[in-house]
A and B are shown apart, each in its own frame.
Chain A
Amino acid sequence: MSLAHTRAKSDPASKSPSEWQRLRSLLLGAEQASLQALAAKVGNRDNLARSVASVLAEATAIRARQDDGITRALAPIINDGLQRSVRENPQPVVDALYPIMGPAIRRSIAEALADMMQAFNRAVEQSLSPRALKWRLDAWRTGQPYAQVVLLNTLVYRVEQVFLIHRETGLLLGHAQAEHAVVQDPDMVSGMLTAIRDFVGDSFHVSQEDGVEAIRLGELSVQVRVGPKAVLAAVVRGNAPQSLRARLSETLEHIHQSYAVALGRFDGDTAAFSNIPGDLEPCLVAQAREHARRPWRAYVGIALLVAGSAWWVIEHHEAAARWSAIVTLLEREPGFVVVEAGSDNAHIVRGLRDPLARDPRTVIETVGARVDDIVWDLKPYLSMESSLVLARARLQLKPPDGVTLRLEGSTLSASGIAPEAWLREARRRAPLIAGISTLDDRAIEVKDRASLNRARQTLNEAALYFEPASDSLSDSQLAKLNALVPSLFVLRDAAAAAQIAYSVDIVGRADAPGSSEFNLRLSQSRAEAVRRYLLAHGAPATLLHARGIGAIDAVGPQANEADDAQRRVNFEVIAASAETGDPAP
């Protein structure tokens, strides 16, 4: 009510600014002050930075718990910063990383070496070279692990142990040992080493600094470096190089720097030296022996390989040549068709073979190859090659001795003397043989007919002579007649075989003197006499016909013959072909 009244009565324009100001401060005084303080905080850069800085860590932690926004925002910045830092001055980064990198690299190398050692050991263990056997014997004899013996024989030197010894007390501050090294109690060894150094120093009156630098026994030596507070002793197998001594000195110096305070007030408590083994490990170095020996095993191996390869190439080449020769022989051989000849895995010949062709093993015998390992896959076929056709003809026709078969084109020519029966069979079968169309048997003389012809000729040409007016045969004429008897038998047999009908006419003659009637009788009587004689000697009577023809006419072809020659008996063989149709001459 009073506010409404005030508003109604008062004109805003009539009030002065200071009055408004007073009113504001009356109404909002406290709030105004805090607003101004806030504005001063936000508006002023320094103030704002200070207030944000006071909560920055907490805010980061809260946000990091919520999501990875901060990480994502910072990652590129950190990357850029790191790159820039390395570019401009890498030393701080190197210094920061050094304590991490050293152990990491050492560890990585140690692991790699351990793996390598294992592989190496395996390889050597598996090898059976005389040297490996000797080492094995040494290992067995000395009771050392085999790997140790191998190391001893293959290394120029190896630092097996490193001791860091408190100089005054001889107490052990730290110790590191190589893998596979044979180690005795380091505390006692450390004490004894000190005692020995003292002993030598006392005995030969030398100062500690000039004291024992190295103890050597066979291939083992103890390299000693003396510092103001501590002594470094390295047990080395083999010949330690100068560089190792330098490394030991550097390590000892480094330890003196890093542990100056702890060394200075050492009272037996070794807790401060728990990291010493890590500092000593870089001293555990080794150098493998380089073998300058000639790798004769490799040479022998390579020589064997080369010889083997050469032998293989020659053998392979010869085998290939042999195989090629075999295939060529087979391709040329009548009655063979080589479809496929392979020698990849096994020797195999696929193709066709005429059953009458030669045995393939015989064919390739000339190559002189071992042919047992050839696999034959040959299917039968009929070859049209002339030699095979001829062979087939011979097989099927079975020509008798004396018959020659030849092939000209598809005509089979036969020549020689053959039985009638064979000829008939040959004529029937020849055209049925594969590769033969006709049989030419014009050059074939039928065996039985030939003898028949000879017998007929003998008989036809024979003549038996008589004394005048006599029908008796003289002894000489009888002998002649007797010689004709076999021809008659031949005639009989051959005619029977050739199935030829025949007959023999015995023709008697007389000379001109005398009556023709008498002469006719005389000639008949002469023919009869011959017939009787032949019958008496077994000639078949049915085929012998005797007839007399009397004296020969004064005119005619035989008119001039002498009388002695006219008194005679002749034979006329009359033959008629039965089946052959071959007319008798």
Chain B
Amino acid sequence: MIHLKLCMVGAFAVGKSSLVQRYVQSMFSEKYHTTVGVKIDKKDIALGATAVRLVIWDLAGEDHFSALRPTFMRGAAGYLLVADGTRGHTLDAALDLNRQIEASQGPLPFVLVLNKEDRLDEWEITAPRIEALERRGMKMFRCSAKSGAGVELMFEHLAAGNLKERAS
């Protein structure tokens, strides 16, 4: 079995925990975020013939990476950069976090996740901006923690990317 450590990072209250909650098998309560700063969950999936165990480190939401503990990112196979579609500044914060992570950990596979797809009409993040980011090569997912749409896909994409890289 392949074990992969994935991290969830993003600004405060963008719905990281809700997304994880949608997806995983959990044993720790939310209070770990405020105490230790991270909550760890697990998900067993099958990608083709390969059994994969995702160990998901859900990092407490901080707007600045300095407040985030870089050690929690150590050894991660990839991360999900989460922003709230209805709050434009969370995307700025996410991109800022991304730059900081790359600076401290080196390049790591990641996906940009825009949450709250269920409230598209309230979105502040515009389509042109999204297209601009995609043109920069960022893999972007729109999802909804509320409906569950797109949640599985973003985790599996990250895991599959890792397997593919490992095979090559």
Write the residues of chain A forming the contact surface with B, with a CB cutoff of 8 angstroms.
166, 168-172, 184-185, 187-188, 191-192, 195-196, 198-199, 201-202, 267-271
The answer on a CB contact under 8 Å between B75 and A187 is no
The answer on a CB contact under 8 Å between A168 and B74 is yes
Q: Of A166, A188, A196, A270, which one neighbours B75 at CB under 8 angstroms?
A: A166
The answer on a CB contact under 8 Å between A202 and B71 is yes
Chain A CB within 8 A of B57 CB: yes
The answer on a CB contact under 8 Å between A188 and B69 is no
- What 4 A-B pairs come out closest when comparing CB atoms? A169-B75, A191-B40, A168-B75, A198-B71
Within 8 A of A (CB), among B95-113: none
Q: How many Å lie between the Cα of A152 and that of B41 in the bound state?
A: 30
- 20 further A-B contacts with Cβ under 8 Å, apart from A169-B75, A191-B40, A192-B32, are A168-B75, A169-B5, A169-B76, A170-B57, A170-B75, A171-B55, A172-B3, A187-B42, A187-B53, A187-B55, A188-B26, A188-B42, A191-B5, A195-B38, A195-B57, A195-B72, A198-B74, A202-B71, A269-B1, A270-B1
Within 8 A of A (CB), among B46-86: 53, 55, 57, 69, 71-72, 74-77
Minimum CB–CB distance from B1 to chain A (whole Å) comes to 6
Chain A CB within 8 A of B132 CB: no
CB-CB under 8 A for A269 and B2, given A188-B41, A199-B36:
yes
The answer on a CB contact under 8 Å between A268 and B41 is no
1/0 per residue, CB under 8 A from A, across B1-41: the answer is 11111000000000000000000011110001000111011
CB-CB under 8 A for A195 and B75, given A170-B55, A267-B166:
no
The answer on a CB contact under 8 Å between A268 and B77 is yes
Minimum CB–CB distance from B66 to chain A (whole Å) comes to 12
Q: Which residues of B are found within 8 Å of A185, using beta-carbon distances?
A: 25, 27, 42
Question: Chain B, interface size: which category?
Answer: 20 to 34
Q: Of B27, B53, B69, which one neighbours A199 at CB under 8 angstroms?
A: B69
Q: Which residues of B are found within 8 Å of A170, using beta-carbon distances?
A: 5, 55, 57, 75
The answer on a CB contact under 8 Å between A198 and B41 is no
The residue on A at minimum CB distance from B41 is A188
Q: Which residues of A are found within 8 Å of B38, using beta-carbon distances?
A: 195, 199
The answer on a CB contact under 8 Å between B3 and A270 is yes
Write the residues of chain B forming the contact surface with A, with a CB cutoff of 8 angstroms.
1-5, 25-28, 32, 36-38, 40-42, 53, 55, 57, 69, 71-72, 74-77, 162, 166
B2, B40, B41, B76, most chain A CB atoms within 10 A: B40
The answer on a CB contact under 8 Å between A198 and B72 is yes
18 intermolecular pairs with C-beta atoms under 8 Å apart: A169-B5, A170-B5, A170-B75, A188-B27, A188-B28, A191-B55, A192-B28, A192-B36, A195-B36, A195-B57, A198-B69, A198-B71, A199-B36, A199-B38, A199-B69, A268-B5, A268-B77, A270-B1
The answer on a CB contact under 8 Å between A171 and B27 is no
The residue on A at minimum CB distance from B38 is A195
Q: How many Å lie between the Cα of A184 and that of B77 in the bound state?
A: 24
Q: Which residues of B are found within 8 Å of A184, using beta-carbon distances?
A: 27
Q: Which residues of A are found within 8 Å of B77, using beta-carbon distances?
A: 169, 268
Minimum CB–CB distance from A193 to chain B (whole Å) comes to 9
Q: How many Å lie between the Cα of A232 and that of B42 in the bound state?
A: 21
The answer on a CB contact under 8 Å between B36 and A171 is no
Q: How many Å lie between the Cα of A192 and that of B40 in the bound state?
A: 6
Q: How many Å lie between the Cα of A269 and that of B4 in the bound state?
A: 9
Q: How many Å lie between the Cα of A202 and that of B38 in the bound state?
A: 13
The residue on A at minimum CB distance from B1 is A270
Q: Which residues of B are found within 8 Å of A271, using beta-carbon distances?
A: 1
Q: Which residues of B are found within 8 Å of A268, using beta-carbon distances?
A: 2-5, 77, 162
Q: Which residues of A are found within 8 Å of B1, using beta-carbon distances?
A: 269-271
Minimum CB–CB distance from B54 to chain A (whole Å) comes to 10
The answer on a CB contact under 8 Å between A191 and B57 is yes
The answer on a CB contact under 8 Å between B41 and A199 is no
Minimum CB–CB distance from B16 to chain A (whole Å) comes to 15
Q: Of B28, B69, B72, B75, which one neighbours A171 at CB under 8 angstroms?
A: B75
Q: Of A171, A196, A199, A201, which one neighbours B3 at CB under 8 angstroms?
A: A171
Minimum CB–CB distance from A106 to chain B (whole Å) comes to 25
Q: Which residues of A are found within 8 Å of B25, using beta-carbon distances?
A: 185
Q: How many Å lie between the Cα of A184 and that of B27 in the bound state?
A: 8
Q: How many Å lie between the Cα of A196 and that of B38 in the bound state?
A: 9
The residue on A at minimum CB distance from B163 is A268
Q: Which residues of B are found within 8 Å of A191, using beta-carbon distances?
A: 5, 40, 42, 55, 57
The residue on B at minimum CB distance from A267 is B166
Q: Which residues of B are found within 8 Å of A192, using beta-carbon distances?
A: 28, 32, 36, 40
Q: How many Å lie between the Cα of A199 and that of B3 in the bound state?
A: 22
Minimum CB–CB distance from A204 to chain B (whole Å) comes to 13
A166, A172, A185, most chain B CB atoms within 10 A: A185
Q: How many Å lie between the Cα of A192 and that of B69 in the bound state?
A: 14
Q: Which residues of B are found within 8 Å of A201, using beta-carbon distances?
A: 71
Q: How many Å lie between the Cα of A270 and that of B5 in the bound state?
A: 13
Minimum CB–CB distance from A206 to chain B (whole Å) comes to 12
The answer on a CB contact under 8 Å between A202 and B69 is yes
Q: How many Å lie between the Cα of A172 and that of B71 in the bound state?
A: 17
Q: Which residues of A are found within 8 Å of B36, using beta-carbon distances?
A: 192, 195-196, 199
Minimum CB–CB distance from B40 to chain A (whole Å) comes to 4
Q: How many Å lie between the Cα of A585 and that of B119 in the bound state?
A: 165
Q: Which residues of A are found within 8 Å of B57, using beta-carbon distances?
A: 170, 191, 195
